[in-house]
Amino acid sequence: MEYRLEQDSMGQVKVPADKYWGAQTQRSVEHFPIGVGLETMPREIIRSFGILKKAAALANHTLKPEKMTKEKQDAICRVCDEVIAGTLAEHFPLVVWQTGSGTQSNMNANEVIANRGNELAGKKLLHPNDDVNMSQSSNDTFPTAMHIAAVESLEDRVIPALNRLIAAFAQLEKDNIGIVKSGRTHLQDATPIAFSQEISGWRSSLERCGELLEQALPSLKELALGGTAVGTGLNAPAGFDTEVARQVSMLTGKAFVTAPNKFHALSSKSELVFAHGALKALACDLMKIANDIRWLASGPRLGLGEITIPANEPGSSIMPGKVNPTQCEAITMIAVQVMGNDAAVSMAASQGNFQLNVFMPVLIYNFLQSARLLAEGMNAFHDFCVTGIRANREKMDGNLHNSLMLVTALTPYIGYENGAKTAKKAYAESISLKEACIKLGYLTEEEFDRVFHPEQMI
């Protein structure tokens, strides 16, 4: 491998000749050989750095054009467009397990943009600190990248996937109007419910999760950029924070604003904790829904068997013909991962000391993994499970009329105690509720037929 020498404030460092990064990135590569190739800084963060560095160049040119000349602005913006597009991904090698402020990833972005910009310009035009990092600090850029990435992940991936799943359940609900089945509580038989009502519970749970995610967005759209090192705004021109937020908004099409208190924005990560809490709530509801579906589809002969789900692939290497609820299993595993990530997000957010949180890379790594898994998991769950759910009407009807809890319809006429005796006799003697009730002398056959209508109990 060929190398070139790069210089930083600590001296010279050998850097691979075919890479755009510089000395500080190389020091991080050498000092943090942890999870290399597996746990690199999320691509969403790299994209967000491209956005914010472009926005900063545009804002700096507006506010101090004598330093950020048009030539420098254009060079930075051109490279940032490449970063945003992902074409320079190989030049961002750093892992999550680095400095807790994300300083090395900020410098990685600064060095790549400067070196690539100089290559395009054919001269030494840009300096990573003086130009690309102008009016900024790692301490305000990394929190800004976190918020941009979080907002884009939620608005562009999670919420659209969630709305798509909600629509599928709404259609399933509509398609199954009129089907009455046995309800279940405590995994035991309960009073009747319409299948469409059961589905409506799933749909409504997901709709509420969408509302919770929407509630998290406004505070995530507040940016730390302009706070510089400790929140005072040192070395940033007046109005930079407002102007750079405006530029980020124009680049993303999302209504970002400057954080009203930069001391909070640098040291607290409560907005991300709140948003991830909404992701965890979604994971909890998806866990419940997927479990309901695989219980209802259990069988095909020895389980509940009240619904069928798509048979996507063979389920066993030894049992021919076996098909498993694999999409349900995938989404429930994702839910477990998100719940675990929530613990990491919460712990990381609690570690803000004085003017800076230094657990930011691990926090956003877990946050973005949760968002990515949920979005992709919901899309797969929609495509390969939910849209293929079909009701087994015969099984539902059989279970309904075999349920002892239908005795609840009789209690207004024979009382709770007599209803309990009727149910117990029917169970003990393996006879119908009607036979038990008549044997006990509580109702005649005509009276029973007049008051006993399971389909009207919903």
| pLDDT score at 168 | 98
CB neighbour list of residue 177: distance below 8 Å, 6 or more residues apart: 194, 196
Q: How confident is the model over 248-272, as pLDDT tens digits? A: 999 999 999 999 999 999 999 999 9
Q: Which amino acid is at 207?
A: E
Structure confidence at residue 438 (pLDDT):
96
Nearest to 29 by CA among 18, 16, 44, 46: 16
Point out the residues of the chain with pLDDT beneath 50: none
Q: What positions carry a catalytic annotation?
A: 186, 316
Q: 1 is written with which tokens?
A: 């491998």
In angstroms, the Cα distances linking 161 to 92, 146, 288 are 29, 21, 18
How far is 175 from 45, CA to CA, in rounded Å? 42
pTM: 0.96
